[in-house]
Chain A
Amino acid sequence: MTDRVILACTVIVAVVYLYATTLIPSLEIGDPLGPKAFPRLLGVALLLAAAMLAREIWARRKAGTVDVPAAELFDPVITKILLCVVAWTAVYYAGFDPLGFIAATTIYLLGLMAWFNRGKWVTNFLTASLFSVGTYVLFVTLDVNLPKGILPWWG
């Protein structure tokens, strides 16, 4: 099942990519191939790779090997938790500039640790705050520009 989904996605990506290639404006002055030729080859190569995968799926079925079901690979409960992590990370990125590195990172880390390291509030708070302040100071010293946000007196 999983490999058949990969196969379908690969074909879709190849077709969309080949279509998008036709939309590239062509200016072929001094360059006989233009900007489309190499991408066209890649689109065809991806279709060939899809054909290879189809052959592998067919050979496995012939040999009686069962494909791993998608539900086994992606446990629904764990997938939901990980999607929440992705969403929380996206919220962190949204607040990265306005809140600043220290405030945004401390809140973000506390959120993650509250779930994955449950009950250990003191450890979590100390780790999140010390890490945020420590890395900020370290990276600012190394001339890496991190947002100050709501804490303008830092840096």
Chain B
Amino acid sequence: MDTMTHILNGFTVCLQPINLWYTFLGCFLGTIIGVLPGIGPTATIALLIPVTYGMNPTSALIMMCGIFYGARYGGSTTAILINAPGEASSVMTTLDGYQMAKKGRGGAALAISAVGSFIAGTLGVVGLTLFALPLTSMALKFGPAEYFTLMFFSMTAVSSLAGKSPAKAVISTVLGLMIATIGIDLQSGQPRYTMGVPELQDGVGLIVAVVGLFAIAEVFFSLEEITQGMRPEIIKLQGRLWMTMEEWKRSIMPIMRGGLVGFVIGVLPGAGGTIASILSYVWEKRISKNPEEFGTGAIEGVAGPEAANNADTAGALVPLLTLGIPGGGATAILLGAFIMYGIQPGPLLFQNRPDLVWGLIDSMYVGNVMLLILNLPLIGIFVRLLYIPAALLMPLILAISTIGVYAINGNPVELYFALLFGVMGFVFRKTDIPLAPMVLSIVLGPIMEQSFRQAMTISGGNPKIFVGSTICVVLVALSIFSIFLPFILDRLKKLNQGAKAEAA
């Protein structure tokens, strides 16, 4: 069966009424959590996994992906109306979006953000459709050594680009891998680091860790802000929710460029939507005839970054689906969801379950159309969510987190583990230790150790196997480059500052 047939079959899967419903539900929930502070897509997907155990995996995954890309649409609303990004990737939208809202052009900023997200999101899915198969045919050549070096590269890339301090990112990565070693070792049957606690014999649950690190920690953060009396000012939405012809003309090219940047950055591990939107913003400002307008309400500063962070979600699914390797926190939990349904993403998935893969990919075309509809005429309803007092909302999120964790095994001990992770996540965030590398390591840790041990068994204990093929050598070289990247960037920054000082 050729690729085109698979793609068309994918549409027959995703257009089934039940899957259309789950696409809508995912997009709707994604938009809500994108608008609401306190809970992000990573934690929401984790919370929903136990609820979806009884569901058909295709429908469940379609819904979870809907949450992942839907949150990016919703994230811009808070960025524009209250100057606080609903999602980290919308941070650049605050710069010009909020200024536009203050000038009474909030409607235009929200409209261009929705239209730009739709165009770039759809372009991203086209990219995913085109690049998925060539990558899977390459991935079929991967053995344990290649997989180990690929996961090592993924982790070094995430560590090098996460947070302000590379050392803290590495600490987070290694701690995540250490957490992943807790439990019965599957190859030897020996318990490791269980400290006699029976609940630890199966290891630390991914959902427990993610809910703690992302949902509970985020609630603690918001409760701290409530105690400090920090209340954002919400700018009232004025005028028509559409842009002028002039604004549209100014936005179309930034959307296309943002879509390209977002997709490419999304494919690379580590970078993610935030970096994609920053790069798009910098690009637009650099080529603009009026760079001084940026930061004062330039529509290009909303169109480009919003397009970039939406195309990034489709790009991020390329390595996840074709290689089984996530590039960040949200895709890591998606991989966790796949594994929990007994499905291993990777090249064989395209051969064994084309209905699932192409149904999922094609659902993103449909989802983007739904999100455009949800985010244009219905934006007024979502904006009302901003008026829910955080003092009421945060306790409810803690209760929902409790359900999510309890639903896995019905074991109250796991609730305490989640609380412990919550405290840890709060302290980590306060001290600038990034959390995404830790989640990635908790998910990839067991697979990484297995590949490491399989490769060493094949080679009879000779570590040269990790540089024994061209793919391995390239991946090791890329990993070394990733490790040194923060130092190179730091040096370039200093040289640039020196040159500017000399010029002045």
Contact = CB atoms under 8 A, between A and B. Distances in A.
B223 A116 contact: yes
A46 to B, nearest CB: 5
B389 A117 contact: yes
Interface string B174-209: 110110010001011111110000000000000000
B168 A53 contact: yes
B226 interface: yes
A78 B223 CA distance: 9
A93 B398 CA distance: 11
B174 A49 contact: yes
B453 A89 contact: no
Contact of B165 (A25, A50, A56, A143): A56
Please tell me the size bucket of the interface on A.
35 or more
Interface string A1-42: 011001000100100010010001111100111110111001
Contacts of B431: 2-3, 6, 73
Contact of B402 (A46, A96, A112): A96
B183 to A, nearest CB: 11
B419 A113 contact: no
B392 interface: yes
Given A86-B423, A123-B392, A49 B228 contact: no
B174 A93 contact: no
Please tell me the size bucket of the interface on B.
35 or more
Contacts of B400: 135
Interface string B369-406: 00000000000000000000101101110111011001
Interface in B278-299: none
Contacts of B223: 81-82, 85, 116
Contacts of A94: 412
Given A6-B168, A35-B188, A109-B395, A96 B419 contact: no
A145 B53 CA distance: 12
B454 to A, nearest CB: 10
Contacts of A123: 392
B430 A93 contact: no
A49 B167 contact: yes
17 contacts: A13-B175, A27-B188, A28-B188, A33-B461, A42-B181, A53-B165, A56-B166, A73-B430, A81-B227, A89-B398, A93-B415, A109-B395, A113-B392, A116-B226, A139-B407, A142-B51, A144-B407
Q: Identify the 8 closest CB pairs spanning chains A and B, nearest first.
A: A52-B167, A53-B167, A117-B391, A112-B395, A35-B185, A116-B391, A49-B170, A93-B415
Given A24-B191, A39-B178, A131-B399, 10 more contacts: A33-B457, A35-B188, A37-B453, A38-B453, A52-B170, A105-B399, A109-B395, A113-B391, A142-B51, A145-B410
